[in-house]
Amino acid sequence: MHPGVTPLVEARDVHVHFGTARAVDGVSISVMPGEVVALVGESGSGKTTLIRALQGLQPVTSGEIRIRGAEPEWKGRAGRRTFHDPGIQMVFQDPTGALNPRHTIYEIVAEGLRIQGRRDDEEELVATAMARAGLRPPERFFSLYPHQISGGQRQRVVIAGALVMEPSLLLADEPVASLDASIRGEILALFRSLVDESGLAVLVVTHDLGLAWNIADRIAVMYLGRIVEVGAVEEVLAEPQHPYTRALLSVVPGRDEKPQLLKGEIPDLRNVPSGCRFHPRCPLLQSGLLPEEVAARCVGEDPGRIGLEEIRAAACWAVAR
Amino acid sequence: MSEPVLVLEDLRVTYRTSGGAVPAVRGVSLEIPAGGSLGLAGESGCGKSTIAGAVLRLLPGTAEVSGRVLLAGKDVYELKPGGLRAVRWTAGAIVFQGALHALNPVQRIGDQIAEPMLVHQTVSTPKAAKTRVAELLESVGIPARRAAAYPHQLSGGQRQRVLIAMALACDPQLLIADEPTTALDVMVQAQVLELLADLRRQRDLALLFITHDLSLLTTYCDRLAIMYAGRIVEEGPSGDVFAGPSHPYTRGLAAAFPRIGDRSSRMAPSGLGGDPPDPAALPAGCPFHPRCPLARPECREAEPALRISGPERRAACILV
């Protein structure tokens, strides 16, 4: 899809199992420079485990992770291998919980640099990162404590703490879920402008399809450890193919369609249904409108994993691939 | 028209703190007709949850309340303790956010649902209560045999359903839902809200729905009231308000919930900028003026009152 461009991060058929629980069960995904990818799913879909694996914090059971085209520098013994790459930084969801209340804003933003060893240009790097995160003029915030600034500014401090490491990829887990609606727009606009202005890439984990519409180029929808649909945001949200994506879109408040409620909740990861893992809740299968041979496949045969080379795909027997 | 189930007349709530008096609600008047629904929206600190507590007299002792609250025709702040207990649960019941904290972790859910019925003697025997608990659980989509379960054995969505069953136990006329689905996944949220809508139709139940999510209110409420700094700044039929806000604050808030498919919001997240004001130090004049893209010099002088801005609509802005 981007010939000649090396992805910042690539996961090939990554599995993360916790005992018999298959939290991530064969996922392939890539993020290109200058791109925002939204990873959408509900609790229990495996999206948080997947980004922890991409960040190097979560050992993977099998599969391959590549950072800027190369194997990361794995540390630790087999089965427990992790890696650390300062080019990948994480932005956490709750800014109040993520900030040490007894540290000044300057110390909080400088922390990542100091872990790597003190450097002479620290103040300059901190000021630059804060300005990029929209804390201007940065000097005004240096000696303040988290409780002295607003919720929106606290989220900017969290982002500055990531930017100070000069990352090429930000991983953001529900970056605006705990913020007021009015602040949400500002923070999303900040992510988008960082990407547009400096070629940074963002992989954002969210349950909010409106967020994807607001800032993402591509979207991947996860269900029970697998990506079930991928594509450009415009295509997936205008014409969702997978019945799960369709249902998720139908329950976005304020839409003109009737909400398509799925029965029950996401099944237990230790007990992934046979055939298509979505089939026990699939409204398309339950409608009885599928040809008999397709319905038999839904129940009995895994529709398989979506590969890295697939630009637009849905893992569904009722959708041609 | 029948008597409204809830009337607030110039409700004011001030919290006494060590730092001085903090006005949380500064003169709110509203009405919900029997079986009707009102959505109350606004940012953190705008006073919306204080209103929920004020209706059932659940606020802490540091809160000073003035004005009138009429629930099913009774003035809640004139009632003796016995009368107040009777009004809670039977006239108005509340569903809080965070079902995990609102339920007792060491009591079976069936017993928790039965408790208000036994206290209010809406059932005469424990056996009758058991039958009623079974009906209530089934009505919220939980199998009756789950009455013996403890809260931790249920999922977040199921716990929220239990809270709804509990709120319905004494057949109230008004349900107050304060961010009832905030902690839930989108699909579970939709399940719970559709359930609530069904129950309302079956029981002719009125709803006061409080949330920061304006888009939810437009789907589930007839009317919408937008709060800012302790006052209602706009109200009207929910579809009209969301689609064509009169007040610049409502416009900013509505824009924060993009319509998927709307080209104007694609790659263009929008918000208000700035932060909600500190209730202890409100700006002079219109409290929204420091964040208002349309503010004029006169906005700093006097706080505008609500005035008619369209059919069945009011807004508090000098530009209306």
In chain A, residues with a C-beta closer than 8 Å to the C-beta of B269 are: 184-186, 188-189, 192, 211, 214-215
Contact A181 B257 (CB under 8 A): yes
In chain B, residues with a C-beta closer than 8 Å to the C-beta of A265 are: 155, 157, 185, 187-188
Rounded-to-integer distance, Cα A223 and Cα A209, Å: 15
Q: Is the pLDDT of residue B270 over 90?
A: no
Mean pLDDT value across residues A272-298:
95
Rounded-to-integer distance, Cα A305 and Cα A277, Å: 12
pLDDT-wise least confident of A88-102, A148-162, B198-212, B228-242:
A88-102
B276-300 as b/e: b if 16+ CB within 10 A = bbebeeebebbbbbebbeebeeebe
Structure ipTM: 0.86
Q: Is the pLDDT of residue B126 over 90?
A: no
H or E segment and range at residue B134: helix B126-139
pLDDT tens for residues B168-190?
Answer: 988 899 999 998 887 788 888 89
Q: Is the pLDDT of residue B1 over 70?
A: no
Contact B269 A251 (CB under 8 A): no
Smallest Cα distance from A11 to chain B, Å: 26
Is residue B281 less than 8 Å (CB to CB) from chain A?
A: no
Rounded to 5 degrees, what are φ and ψ at B41?
Answer: -120, 155
Q: At what angle do helices A181-198 and B248-255 cross, to 10 degrees?
A: 60
User: Do B212 and B31 touch, CB atoms closer than 8 A?
Assistant: no
Preceding omega of A137 cis (within 30 degrees of 0):
yes
pLDDT for B137 equals 94
DSSP state of A175: T
Contact B269 A238 (CB under 8 A): no
Residue A223: closest CA among A5, A88, A22: A22
Amino acid sitting at position B161: R
Contact A184 B266 (CB under 8 A): no
User: Do A160 and A132 touch, CB atoms closer than 8 A?
Assistant: yes
What 3-state class would DSSP assign to A145?
A: coil
Q: Is the pLDDT of residue A73 over 60?
A: yes
Contact A189 B185 (CB under 8 A): no
- CA distances A152 to A129, A157, B47, Å, are 16, 9, 20
Domains of chain A: 9-87+167-314 (3.40.50.300), 98-166 (no CATH)
CB atoms within 10 A of CB A319: 14
Smallest Cα distance from B261 to chain A, Å: 7
Contact A180 B44 (CB under 8 A): yes
Where do the H-state alpha helices sit in chain A? 47-54, 95-98, 105-115, 122-132, 151-163, 181-198, 209-215, 233-238, 243-250, 283-286, 292-300
pLDDT-wise least confident of A92-96, A217-221, A266-270, B42-46:
A92-96
Domains of chain B: 6-35+42-83+210-315 (3.40.50.300)
- pLDDT over 90, % of chain B: 64
Mean pLDDT value across residues A208-224:
96
